[in-house]
Amino acid sequence: MPLWKRLAATSEGGWIILVRLLVGLVVFFPEGLQKLLFPAVLGAGRFARIGIPHPDLMGPFVGVVETVCGLLIIVGLMTRLAALPLVVVMVVAIVSTKIPILLGHDVGPFHLAADIKRTGFWSAQHEARADLTMLLALLYLLIVGAGRWSIDARLAAPTR
């Protein structure tokens, strides 16, 4: 079986579409668009405030990655491949914004947000709940694929 068919293969039922919609439609597609539409608040400007290196490059880059990969996950096309860069995005988000909250101070280039009122484990856990949920959902999609109701499933189906 060709590699692309193995990547597209899934034995999961159709209802995994709910996880795909959560990841793609609710989170990454709109967040990616907002990084591009409102760069001062959610893209390069925010990246500069939290200490992401090269924010003028990374803000739009992450916005495009989130938008494109979010769309791919919504329709279930190249789902496993689309999940990989988003896993990286989530790990960077946790390291750059949640670890400073956990420790209560800047970490390397990453700055503790000025509007954070509490620090420590419980504050970091509270702030990281959506990031951790997205990370686990992406890992789930990476493991099981897009499910029966996806373009991937159609592409991986045996040809007659």
Contact 89, 35 (CB under 8 A): no
DSSP secondary structure letters along 65-90: HHHHHHHHHHHTSSHHHHHHHHHHHH
Mean pLDDT of the chain: 93
C-alpha–C-alpha distance, residues 78 and 52, integer Å: 28
Residue 101: is its pLDDT beyond 80? yes
Highest-scoring range by mean pLDDT, 7-11, 17-21, 116-120: 17-21
Task: Compare 87 and 117 and report the one with higher pLDDT.
Answer: 87
Residue 143 has pLDDT above 90, yes or no: yes
Query: What pLDDT shows up at residue 160?
Result: 62
CA distance 45 to 52: 10
**Domain encompassing residue 45:** 3-156
Q: Is the pLDDT confidence value at 125 over 70?
A: yes
Which burial class, exposed, middle or buried, applies to 151 when counting CB atoms under 10 A from its CB (0-12, 13-18, 19+)? middle
Q: What pLDDT is recorded for position 117?
A: 83
Residue showing tokens 């789902």: 79
Asked if the model's pLDDT at residue 158 lies above 80, the reply is no
Q: Tell me the pLDDT band of 78, cut-offs 50, 70 and 90.
A: very high
pLDDT digits (tens, 9 = 90+) for 110-121: 988 888 888 999
Q: Between 49 and 2, whose confidence is greater? A: 49
Name the domain count of the chain. 1
Task: Supply the pTM of this predicted model.
Answer: 0.91
Phi-psi region of 39 (alpha: psi -120 to 50; beta: other; left: phi over 0): alpha
